[in-house]
Amino acid sequence: MAPALPVSPLARPLPELGSIRGVRLGAAAAGIRYQNRTDLVLAEFIAGTTVAGVFTKSKCPGAPVDWCRDILPDGEARVLVVNAGNANVFTGKAGRETCTVTADAAAQLAGCSPRNVYLASTGVIGEILPHERITAALPALHASLSETGWEAAARGIMTTDTFPKAAIRTATLNGATVTLQGIAKGSGMIAPDMATMLGFITTDAAIPAPVLQRLLSEEIKTTFNCITVDSDTSTSDMALLFATGTAENAAIDENTTTDAPILGAFKAALHSVLKELALLVIRDGEGVTKLITIQVSGAVSDDSAWRVAMAIGNSPLVKTAIAGEDANWGRVVMAVGKCGEPADRDTLSVSIGGVCIAHNGTVVAGYDETPVVNHMKGQEIEIEVSLGLGNGSARIWSCDLTHGYIDINGSYRS
């Protein structure tokens, strides 16, 4: 077992977490891969809890992803079971059996259908996940569940994460005050294209599953879909949103659209929670020393701007230059030019730390590099690119690439 990793220099402390009415949760040490730490998380939801989910676009998804995709159309959840250390990916029939046995065992404890049990796994790919370790630990874990088990759950889903991640917000919804609280894990293999490695958000709001799904799918686009550590999309990425309905807000019609004024405050709070969790993942990027914000404007469309921004954020040359605190704006230009999106050298402008370095295809005459050099020495780096072609824009977040990333991933299975 590799030694514990030092806490990321960009880490943030856990916020003061409350509880979500209708949710009890906790964590236990099942010995799935790790020793002397929790690696199994269980959450139980009150009857009537609705659920929404987004999943990896990987063509080699884990068995838990397939399981959740299959039951999601039912729109109701009673249980969530998450294990860390073994992803249950590329495990064939054995992987599917682990999902079935785990769901059956959890359903018996909660008194519900296995189709109301959501499963998630994270960790090493290609190793059989021994379901007997999970099912043996579940009864005692279920008996210990608590409304205040959030920190334990946040820690129990960690793999190479160096700190637990959580966020909480409140909002008004149809005459009631509602709370949203979520946890996430992720550190490497982060270029989600849907969510993060794993993210679980709960709310006491009463929202029909179809509305919940539309909200989550929309807000994922500008939060978890806008982060990258290393350009690699996991086989296990999953974000689930559970609504217990215990806030007893007035009923919302299932045909309500996401732009309806009635959903405005809740939608903003959901976005805020998702964004905070996404940024916490970047702050815990493997080997990270700097958080990078990349803003692209003037693209032919928002989608094009996003692809340009991700090309910059994924470039090893950009990421290593930032790790070395080198304001090498030429590497930004390189990333823009290679990504296959519309761009024109003679309308392109680049700024770092708010200082315009290159404008309309050439370096700004006499620009003072001193404030840029000072900016590069900080922990949060800002890059702005204007393509000068249209009104499309996007913002994404990345991190630097250091030798620490190689150290962590070179010994991941040892």
Identify the pLDDT of residue 43. Answer: 98
What's the mean per-residue pLDDT of the chain? 94
Least confident of 162-166, 225-229, 372-376: 225-229
Please give the positions annotated as active site.
196
185 assigned ligand-binding residue? yes
- pLDDT mean over 16-26: 97
Q: Does 409 belong to an annotated binding site?
A: yes
Region 58-79 average pLDDT: 96
**Are the C-beta atoms of residues 282 and 291 closer than 8 Å to each other?**
yes
pLDDT > 50? residue 195: no
Q: Is pLDDT of 321 > 90?
A: yes
Q: Which residues lie below 8 Å from residue 122, measured CB to CB, with a gap of 6+?
A: 82, 83, 84, 85, 87, 157, 159, 185, 197, 198, 234, 236
Average pLDDT over residues 131-158: 98
Give the Cα separation of 112 and 233 in Å (integer).
Answer: 33
The percentage of the chain sitting over the pLDDT mark of 90, rounded to a whole number, equals: 85
pLDDT value of position 192: 55
Within 10 A of 13 (CB to CB), how many other CB atoms are there? 8
Q: How confident is the model at residue 146 (pLDDT cuts 50, 70, 90)?
A: very high
> Between these two residues, 77 and 190, which has the higher pLDDT value?
77
Q: Does the annotation list 275 as a binding residue? A: no
- Judged against a pLDDT cut of 70, whether residue 61 lies above it is answered with yes
Residue 121 annotated as lining a ligand binding site: no
374 annotated ligand-binding residue: no
Domains of the chain: 23-283 (3.60.70.12), 291-410 (3.10.20.340)
Cβ atoms < 10 Å from Cβ of 118: 26
Say what the pLDDT of residue 403 is.
Answer: 86
For the chain, what's the residue count?
Answer: 414
- Categorize the per-residue pLDDT at 194 as very low, low, confident or very high, splitting at 50, 70 and 90: very low
Say whether 328 counts as a known binding-site residue.
Answer: no
At 319 the pLDDT is: 96
Give the integer Cα–Cα distance in Å for 118 and 99.
9
Question: Of 51-65, 202-216, 291-305, 376-390, which gets the smallest average pLDDT?
Answer: 51-65
**4, pLDDT greater than 80:** no
Q: Is the pLDDT of residue 102 over 50?
A: yes
**Per-residue confidence (pLDDT) for residue 32, from 0 to 100:** 94
Percentage of the chain lying above the pLDDT 70 cut: 96
What is the per-residue pLDDT for 235?
83
Instruction: Note the pLDDT tens digit of each residue in 249-296.
Output: 999 999 999 999 999 999 999 999 999 999 999 999 888 999 999 999
Q: How confident is the model at residue 190 (pLDDT cuts 50, 70, 90)?
A: low
| Helices and strands in the chain: count of H runs, count of E runs | 11, 15
pLDDT tens per residue, range 170-185: 999 999 999 999 999 9
State the pLDDT at residue 1.
47
Of 303, 282, 259, the C-alpha closest to 380 is 282
